[in-house]
Structure 1
Amino acid sequence: MSKAEREREANIARNRALLEQLELKQAVQDLGFSAKPKPATSKAKPIQPTKRVKKEKAEVEPPRRQSARLRNVIDPSESPSKKRKREAEIEEQRAQEAEARIEAEERARIAKRPRHEDLDLKNLIDEEDASELPSLSTELQSIAQTSWSTNLPEDPELFVYDDSKKDERAVVDLRKRLKGLKIVSRAKVTQDRVYSAAYHPEPTKDLIFFGDKHGQLGVWDARATKEEAGDDDDAIEADENQEGGKYWRLQVHWPATSKSSISCIKFDPLDSHTVYTTSYDCTIRSLAFESGVSREIFSSEDILLCSMDFAPAGNELWISDASGGLTHLDLREDKSKAKWYQLSDQKIGCVSVNPTRSNFLLTASNNRSLKIWDVRKLGTMPSNISSTPSASSATPTLDFDFEVVKEFLDSPKGSGCLRGEWRHEKSASSAYWDPRGRSIVSTSYDDSIRLWDYPSSVFKSDEPFPSVRPFQRIRHNCQTGKWLTILRAQWSSNPEVYPHFTIGNMDHSLDIFSGKGELITKLADRSKITAVQAVTCTHPSIVERVASGNASGRCVLWAPTDD
């Protein structure tokens, strides 16, 4: 060894002896410090799905083509006649393979197109869940035995007080009823992001419908008992991390991609025996509970349907779309009599019909505007316009484009059609009338919730509203981004309680505000929720019921624990 190498070895030996003398490892242990801190773990545990998740089948690689010479099928000494016969057989086989391939591609292409035919529950439910078809059919038919109509207040001035102390007492009473709500049930109702939700008015059950990003409609009986949920193993103890209730998944819109997202869910306001869904596949379908048949009631040609709302009588439907149009569809008439009005130069993401004055409509658009319309004036628009040609699958409509509508609004006949307008600082994502038909709540990408309140006198006149300035503006983070559903403030449709609305919060809570803009309560549970509850809905007749859903398809029911 060289002199440098000998010095290096000596240094290593001295350092090793020094570390052994210091006994650093033992000193650390004596001081009580752990050698390596453990990473903090979240208390919240995801619920464990009870259903199998459908997995994509691995594609089998087709056999590779190989020359006849390598397969040893060519006889070097074959005669010219045999060679011609062999080549003719090969050409015929290739033609048959090409024809079969073209047929398979055409079948695959047809399978990806939206379905326009009538479909029963057997066609809507997945093959893996076919065993649950009888229970779903029984559930829907039991609901259809009784009617629940929408209870609207006869007096729009309900809960309008001259004394501010009465408002304060009403808010205090409402806070007492809602602040004690807890998570009583959780489940992964849909496979993909929740886009829309609706609470069925059945008073004896908590039956909630969720629409997801891929056209799937989840039906959740959130408080179903173990027997109803089909759990026969009594030896298994209840686990709070297991799913609650019973749910079914129906592929109502097709194909199962983001092109079929269910944007809105509504029940028939007369009896609630039919659920209506709008989808990005440009169709509206209705599912009748008694027959279990899903039918297409409307379809557009390459125009995304964003929102819909029923008139209180349940016969008229208003539909908003991504091209800034509003379609009026009377279910008592033939679909060909539908009328389409282009009221905006940009997408109308939300439409709301006044519950007590059905001729007043509310629209929220991407051009930042909230507008109040008197649709009686739209009916007087000249109809000497021919229907726009459309595809065979699309519903023919009488179209009034943006220029025609604008010309009509500027004319004396169109005066009073547009009753009010307010421009937000950014896109208006939603706007809804309250159950009394006098208050409005809107949400916008400018991180604000705005509130309006109108007395009955402004609706009786044909003149524009004297003021469209909101009386309240609440700061609220609405920056959901690409992977979360847009936050929308939803009124409680229960007319027998003080007006209030729910909205998701980016801090993983669910906020409830009064109609005056006061925060009533903030529902949160950090031990069970670690995601934004973007979509919310409330029971139409029971105050202490709130449901929410997130971007993974997991849904939550909030209710008193002692029920």
Structure 2
Amino acid sequence: MEERRITHDDEVEVQSHVASGGLSSYELERLENIRQNQVFLSSIKLFEATEELRQLNRPKPSQRRLVRTKSAVKETLLPRKSLRLQHKEPETLTLPSELGALLVTPRKPPGPLPLEPVNMEEGSKLPSQLLELWSEGSTEERKTWLDLNEYSSALKSMRATEGRVETERIFSAAFHPCASSLLMATGDKLGKVGLWKLGGDWGDGGALLFEPHTGPVSCMAFSRAQPTQLLSLSYDGSLRCMEVEKAVFHDVYGSTVGLRTFDFMSHDCFTLVVGNCLGDVAIVDRRTPGNTHESLHLLDPKTLRCVSVHPSQKHYFAVAGSKVVNIYDSRYLKKTRCRAISRLHGHSSSITSAYFSPCTGNRVLTTCLDDHIRIYDTAARTTTSPLVTSIRHNMQTLLAKPSAVWDPKREDCFVVGGVFHSHMALAFHESGELQHSFIDREDLHEVLSAIAIHPTRNAFLGCAASGRLHVFSD
């Protein structure tokens, strides 16, 4: 039981009882013990601490009956007004600079980079045979308009040769136009550019690897006007040009946004259209000092998969968006709200690629994740281009999304990667008729992540996601 604290009144009462002899000796001893205990507790300030705890634990008054005044509500809640009803443009939000920097990975420093293979000893010179092939160019006339039966027979005569490059997943590939040997270029996931000669003995199995980028090399192409120049573009926001004779990677274009695709907009291949990961396209002139663009245009803020320039009328270019392919005229581009001169409808899912036919540009070939390959008639460039052919083809793969690529030697045939067992790729006529199946070893189950076709020879390159290269040639 808690002892009662002795107050001043208690002490007066005790003294009166003692004077009158009313307290026993036991009671007097008990009171003395209580007094001594109180002296001790007071010395350690226990009573003050107890009072503070009582004040803290005291329940707070209920606020159920507190009512907010109407004036306070009117001050805090402002009426909302629709920008549409006020005939005003919607406000645009911009990312802070520190967030925008996260759109690309750190890339190599601007300016030229030395052409040094990373899979050879430091200080090694480039093979002399590479220099000879690099400057050879094309010595044969373009093989076009073979009879369709003859073309099919030529495809069937091609044989497979496997090569292996110790690299990551390959995102892009291209054939050098030289005809005496097969010289190929590849771009991988980590920013490496490889040069591989079929049957070569330099580097690793005839492959030389360079590191001009730090992100996936999503697009590359040899200049058709100057085949000694290989242009490569990366998600790290850089576009570079390889020149073997000068042993350098030139800095063509740099962006704070990741780059996805490009194509040549002039016959001399000095003007480019470059698409980035935010849906913008930049017009770049390689002759202009520095690595900036001439102009930048917003086309689709959501997605931009591929750009393709008309082979003869270079001011027209096609853009593969989310579910529609748009054709633009570069002479009438604006900074925003660019209007397409023609649209290719009919896709029900994401479009992975769209390419003009290589000779006349009267067709556009598209691949879509709705498991269809489509060919459109773009000769008249009407507001809505009519669909010519639709071919069902399985696009549901995990590592790579197959893209159909025109054979540059023909106007009406293309090749697409296959996903069924040993069928590496399939060649089709624009009518949808299968011309040939490129079949490798029966125990091979790889999906091609990149495809390239030689511009003059009967040669086809398929790159697997594992880094393995498959060449079919006559």
- TM-score between the two structures when normalised by the length of structure 1: 0.61
Partner of residue 479 from structure 1, selected from 396, 410, 413: 396
* Greater share of residues in helix: 1
User: How much has 1:337 moved relative to structure 2?
Assistant: 5.0
Question: Matches of residues 376-391 of structure 1 in structure 2 within 5 Å?
Answer: 376-378=331-333, 381=334
Hey, what does 1:338 align to over in structure 2? 294
Q: Secondary structure at the match of 2:120?
A: helix
1:309-362 residue CA offsets vs partner (Å, 9 max, x unmatched): 012331210111110111111122244452111111212110000011111101
Choose between structure 1 and 2 for higher RCO, CA contacts under 8 A separated by at least 6 residues.
1
Q: Which amino acid aligns with 2:263?
A: D
Q: Secondary structure at the match of 2:440?
A: coil
Q: Secondary structure at the match of 1:471?
A: strand
Hey, what does 1:441 align to over in structure 2? 365
Q: Whole-Å Cα distance in 1 between the matches of residues 148 and 222 of structure 2?
A: 29
Name the CA shift for 1:498/1:300 in 2 (closer, same or farther; >3 Å).
Answer: closer
Partner of residue 303 from structure 2, selected from 344, 347, 350: 347
Q: Which amino acid aligns with 1:426?
A: S
2:412 maps to 1:499? yes
Q: Secondary structure at the match of 2:242?
A: strand
Question: Matches of residues 43-442 of structure 1 in structure 2 within 5 Å?
Answer: 113-122=107-116, 125-126=117-118, 129-130=120-121, 133-134=124-125, 136-148=126-138, 170-183=147-160, 185-224=161-200, 228-229=201-202, 246-254=206-214, 260-301=215-256, 303-311=257-265, 312-334=267-289, 335-336=291-292, 338-365=294-321, 367-378=322-333, 381=334, 400=335, 404-405=336-337, 409=339, 417-436=340-359, 437-442=361-366
Q: Secondary structure at the match of 1:358?
A: coil
1:130-180 residue CA offsets vs partner (Å, 9 max, x unmatched): 27942x342442134334499889xxxx96xxxxxxxxx932221111012
List alignment gaps of at least 5 residues for structure 1.
Answer: 1-110, 160-168, 231-242, 255-259, 382-399, 410-416, 460-464
Q: Which amino acid aligns with 2:314?
A: S
Name the CA shift for 1:141/1:284 in 2 (closer, same or farther; >3 Å).
Answer: same
Q: Secondary structure at the match of 2:401?
A: coil
Q: Whole-Å Cα distance in 1 between the matches of residues 253 and 355 of structure 2?
A: 23
2:446 maps to 1:531? yes
Q: Is the 8 A contact 1:305 1:322 kept in 2?
A: yes
Q: Is the 8 A contact 1:170 1:498 kept in 2?
A: no
User: How much has 1:499 moved relative to structure 2?
Assistant: 2.9
User: How much has 1:422 moved relative to structure 2?
Assistant: 2.0
User: How much has 1:423 moved relative to structure 2?
Assistant: 4.7
Q: Secondary structure at the match of 2:221?
A: strand
Q: Which amino acid aligns with 2:112?
A: D
Q: Is the 8 A contact 1:307 1:319 kept in 2?
A: yes
Hey, what does 1:29 align to over in structure 2? none
User: How much has 1:429 moved relative to structure 2?
Assistant: 0.8
Partner of residue 461 from structure 2, selected from 531, 540, 547: 547
Name the CA shift for 1:472/1:112 in 2 (closer, same or farther; >3 Å).
Answer: closer
Q: Which amino acid aligns with 1:118?
A: P
Name the CA shift for 1:449/1:546 in 2 (closer, same or farther; >3 Å).
Answer: same
Q: Whole-Å Cα distance in 2 between the matches of residues 358 and 151 of structure 1?
A: 23
1:387-413 residue CA offsets vs partner (Å, 9 max, x unmatched): xxxxxxxxxxxxx2xxx325xx4xxxx
Q: Secondary structure at the match of 2:135?
A: coil
Hey, what does 2:387 align to over in structure 1? 470
Q: Whole-Å Cα distance in 1 between the matches of residues 275 and 148 of structure 2?
A: 34
Name the CA shift for 1:304/1:151 in 2 (closer, same or farther; >3 Å).
Answer: farther
Name the CA shift for 1:466/1:252 in 2 (closer, same or farther; >3 Å).
Answer: closer
2:443 maps to 1:514? no
Q: Which amino acid aligns with 2:418?
A: N
1:509-546 residue CA offsets vs partner (Å, 9 max, x unmatched): 2111123322111111234633112321111011x211
Q: Whole-Å Cα distance in 2 between the matches of residues 466 and 337 of structure 1?
A: 29
1:233-258 residue CA offsets vs partner (Å, 9 max, x unmatched): xxxxxxxxxx9x5111111212xxxx
Q: Whole-Å Cα distance in 2 between the matches of residues 530 and 309 of structure 1?
A: 32
Q: Whole-Å Cα distance in 1 between the matches of residues 174 and 443 of structure 2?
A: 23
Q: Which amino acid aligns with 1:558?
A: F
List alignment gaps of at least 5 residues for structure 2.
Answer: 1-104
Q: Which amino acid aligns with 1:309?
A: D
Q: Whole-Å Cα distance in 1 between the matches of residues 156 and 411 of structure 2?
A: 15
1:101-153 residue CA offsets vs partner (Å, 9 max, x unmatched): xxxxxxxxxx965332422123xx22x5227942x342442134334499889
Q: Secondary structure at the match of 2:110?
A: coil
Q: Secondary structure at the match of 2:153?
A: helix
Q: Is the 8 A contact 2:139 2:179 kept in 1?
A: no
1:426-451 residue CA offsets vs partner (Å, 9 max, x unmatched): 01110001112111110011111001
- TM-score between the two structures when normalised by the length of structure 2: 0.72
Q: Whole-Å Cα distance in 2 between the matches of residues 182 and 116 of structure 1?
A: 43
Q: Is the 8 A contact 1:193 1:212 kept in 2?
A: yes
Q: Percent identity?
A: 24
Q: Is the 8 A contact 1:149 1:271 kept in 2?
A: no
Name the CA shift for 1:178/1:113 in 2 (closer, same or farther; >3 Å).
Answer: closer
2:468 maps to 1:559? no
Q: Which amino acid aligns with 1:377?
A: Y
Q: Whole-Å Cα distance in 2 between the matches of residues 248 and 528 of structure 1?
A: 28
Q: Is the 8 A contact 1:150 1:269 kept in 2?
A: no
Q: Whole-Å Cα distance in 2 between the matches of residues 317 and 151 of structure 1?
A: 26
Q: Is the 8 A contact 2:358 2:411 kept in 1?
A: no
Q: Whole-Å Cα distance in 2 between the matches of residues 117 and 198 of structure 1?
A: 24
Q: CA RMSD in A?
A: 2.5
Q: Secondary structure at the match of 1:272?
A: coil
User: How much has 1:471 moved relative to structure 2?
Assistant: 1.1
Name the CA shift for 1:250/1:528 in 2 (closer, same or farther; >3 Å).
Answer: farther
